[in-house]
Structure 1
Amino acid sequence: MSDPIYAQTWYDENSIKPSKSSNFNEKLNRYDFAVIGGGLAGLVLSLKLSQGGATVAVFESKTIGSGASGRNGGFCSAGWAANPIKIKRLLGEKKAELFEDLGVRGFEWMKKQVSKPTYKKVNVKFGELNLSLAKFNNKDESSLNPHNLKKYLISPRYKSGLINKDSFQFNPLNFMRILMKECLENGVHIFENCSVLKVERSDVINSFELLTKSNQNFIAQKVIYATGGYGGLCTSKLDKVLLPIKTFIAVTDPLPGTLKDHIHTEFMVSDNRRAGNYYRRLDGDRLLWGMGISAFGSKSLSTIKRDAFKDLKSHFPNLAQEMSTSGLSFEYVWSGFMGYSRNFLPYVGELSANKYALAGFGGHGMNTAPISAICLSDFLLGNRNSLNSFNGVRHLPHYGSFGKVAAEIVYKYLSLKDFISEYRPI
């Protein structure tokens, strides 16, 4: 497929066979909950609701894992898209501490999931190397100076780094397919290739009718929008507060005898720039390379491939040279949408009577989406205090194209600050 948003990924050819989704003949006359969006947030929410005794239908416009949840870099760590300083400024010190604790709980939930025997195929590997293009004076045992960094990788740009042994990498598409199977086994009905066109009040008392592109109508008492950056044909208040932001990923040709000479570590690698890179070695001597964001337009596959090679060359010039000499490049390239709010925090809670939001995790959703889904499921099942941490989060409109322009300007500004920081004399 030529559209990078839905282009074939390396995961597509290196993942387990998906479960068969629900058949329309199985649909109930009425569901307790309808979840629009079958990403990580939507599936965790559905699983928890079903385990709590509710009837749940999930509507996914494509297939499970085809969106950001199944085509991301495969990194999982604690924290949120917004940094702790920003969260404290937005929510106050006390509530910020509770919010940060949620991020840790989400990470612990994910770590528990990937440790289950049924999730063995996600191929989890622990350890993250977080790098800096500038020197810093951290002297703890996890910090690395330029000399020590050479034990992990060979690059002229990195000046220092930190090791986090708790963070982990995994195959996100396998995770989504195993989670889908778990949902189905717990009674969740999952309808793939089933976009919701409209949600309107039903003739059935206290219920909504969902009109789908598949010419199937469904009745549900409550509706949750878990659409993320991909939005959908069915509009909601979320469209006014969440911007779809693209990110880009590329995977090299096999590099036997070459890759390990330059990137020795099997840790996942990221850097601390505001608009930095993330990468990791894959099976088969390949390198996954994540880079950049964009609020505008659509890069072609050839442009993403060119940009990825240019970016790789700026960090690992010798590796890039060896690849060029051998006629090797990037075999897979793709992009994906992330849902961003202006404050980088998700929208979790009520949109209007019996309609709820669960979206906007801003590129840091592999831990925050599950814990947000768990909090919302607890709320919907009767624990009215479970969303208290989200109550103070204000979401301002992004003003459409003006918001995209602003997002692009902020990204360029942050990139400039990164450049200045890298070359500022110490």
Structure 2
Amino acid sequence: MSYVETFYRPGAAADRPRPALAGRLEVEVAVVGGGLSGLTTALELARRGRSVAVLEAQRVAWGASGRNGGFVSPGWACGYGTIRRAVGEAAAKELHRLSMEGVRIVAGNLQALAVPDADPVPGILSAVRYEATQELKKQRDWLEREFNYRTEFKTREELAELVSSPCYHQALYNSNGFHFHPLNYARALAREIERLGGRIFEGSPVVALETDRPDKLVRTQGGEIHARHVVLASGGYTGGLVPALARSFLPIATYVMLTRPAPELIATAIRTRAGIADDRRAGDYYRLVDGGQRILWGGKITTRTSEPRRLAELLRKTMVATYPQLKDLPVDIAWSGLMSYARHLMPQVGRLKDGVWHCTAFGGHGLNTTAIGGLVIAEAIAGESDRYRQFAPFGLVWNGGIAGRLAAQLTYWSYQAADFFRERRSA
């Protein structure tokens, strides 16, 4: 089944719709949000024998969790230097190790659950559009020295054997990173939760929470759940359900497109199955899918939460600017999804009050970070660790309201301008 069929063809969903919550249910943990952070939290709890129920307003992984580019590699949306300035060298290194552990969690789930339609492919190229030989070698050496993590420097000539673009200068190749089909992965997590006795309810938006009581009450239109713990993992679709969360993240839209099948034409530009991401602060990421027949291309972010007109044309213009030989390659479909970003660009992982947890704001680097976020919350609920406290320096900072959205958009545009002038100097 192709990517287009999996995502958007009617009747092609791999899982049948799950029922909405009806009546009264008692569990130990109620998870609000059926994206990757919520599913990982629920799975880790189910593996520990805890009774758990997931409430999803739409379908499992309906939002950005199922619509993203599928890249899995260490790191956070916030750069290491910024993290170090905020928490110090030792804590920054521990956080980076957590991000590496997140990659291993995803890889381990793929292997343990034998997800044949996730189609994992090894390798990620981080390419630059300016002369950066010394910077990339320094980054390579630092990763190996501090984390025993090996990457490979690619010269311009070596990179040209993999991608035929006039834009790129050098790259770091990460053989331990990989890319895959995120929606099919999420569906596999959901099936495993249910196999272990967990419950998942779709079409069940939460309309009310009562958390100032020993048994927390989570109410939908059709029913209610009583639980000792509630985990809020609803990402960019949280809305105003929990004011403290609503005030602390920005819903940011990101865009993805799929081209029509054209393997011979695509091979004139891209001759690697590795995923490719440039290091622009306003960057693009893309990879071959469906056995090399199509390109999945993502990029561009905006605070505008509605899908813009001419979305496919906007993304295609970026692709052709990178690979002029693809000017005749049409787009099959394009879509957007909402991510949640905190102003500090780190995940918001922690405890709001006794028995109420949050695990959200994974925008920009979510596939590894949702995995580790879900694990540390599950460990905390199970009484195994307090590793979630490593995220305490990055709390629920006010998002700035309307001014915050405007500032985020202006920052993105400034990144685009900085990228342009940096690349122009290296042209």
TM-score (norm 1): 0.90
In the alignment, residue 208 of structure 1 is paired with which amino acid?
Answer: K
SS of 2:368's partner is helix
The equivalent of 2:189 in structure 1 is: 179
Alignment: residue pair count: 408
The equivalent of 1:195 in structure 2 is: 205
The equivalent of 1:5 in structure 2 is: none
Q: Cα deviations across residues 380-424 of structure 1 (Å, max 9, x unaligned)?
A: 111353323122323320121111001001101111111111011
- For the pair 1:212 / 2:220, whether they are aligned, the reply is yes
SS of 1:245's partner is strand
The equivalent of 1:269 in structure 2 is: 276
Q: Cα deviations across residues 194-245 of structure 1 (Å, max 9, x unaligned)?
A: 000010258xx611222213x2122222211101112146234111111110
In the alignment, residue 36 of structure 1 is paired with which amino acid?
Answer: V
The equivalent of 1:18 in structure 2 is: 15
SS of 1:382's partner is coil
Distance across 2 between alignment mates of 1:111 and 1:32: 28
% identical aligned pairs: 30
The equivalent of 1:396 in structure 2 is: 397
Residues 195 and 355 of structure 1, relative CA distance in 2, 3 Å threshold:
same
The equivalent of 1:152 in structure 2 is: 162
Q: Which moved more, 1:243-252 or 1:289-298?
A: 289-298
Q: Is the 8 A contact 1:81 1:364 kept in 2?
A: yes
Once the two structures are TM-superposed, the CA of residue 117 in structure 1 deviates from its matched residue by 5.6
The equivalent of 2:344 in structure 1 is: 343
Residues 49 and 363 of structure 1, relative CA distance in 2, 3 Å threshold:
same
The equivalent of 1:69 in structure 2 is: 65
Distance across 2 between alignment mates of 1:384 and 1:151: 47
SS of 2:295's partner is strand
Distance across 2 between alignment mates of 1:278 and 1:101: 24
Once the two structures are TM-superposed, the CA of residue 261 in structure 1 deviates from its matched residue by 1.4
The equivalent of 1:168 in structure 2 is: 178
TM-score (norm 2): 0.90
Distance across 2 between alignment mates of 1:350 and 1:211: 20
Structure 2: 5+ residue stretches without partners: 141-150
Q: 2:253 aligns with which of 241, 246, 249?
A: 246
Q: Is the 8 A contact 2:130 2:426 kept in 1?
A: no
The equivalent of 2:321 in structure 1 is: 314
Q: Cα deviations across residues 90-110 of structure 1 (Å, max 9, x unaligned)?
A: 111111111111001111111
Within-5 A mapping of 1:287-298: 287-298=295-306
Q: Cα deviations across residues 25-55 of structure 1 (Å, max 9, x unaligned)?
A: 6x76421111100111101111111222221
Structure 1: 5+ residue stretches without partners: 1-7, 324-328
Q: Is the 8 A contact 1:129 1:267 kept in 2?
A: yes
SS of 2:286's partner is strand
- For the pair 1:40 / 2:52, whether they are aligned, the reply is no
Distance across 2 between alignment mates of 1:156 and 1:32: 56
Once the two structures are TM-superposed, the CA of residue 296 in structure 1 deviates from its matched residue by 2.3
Distance across 2 between alignment mates of 1:31 and 1:128: 41
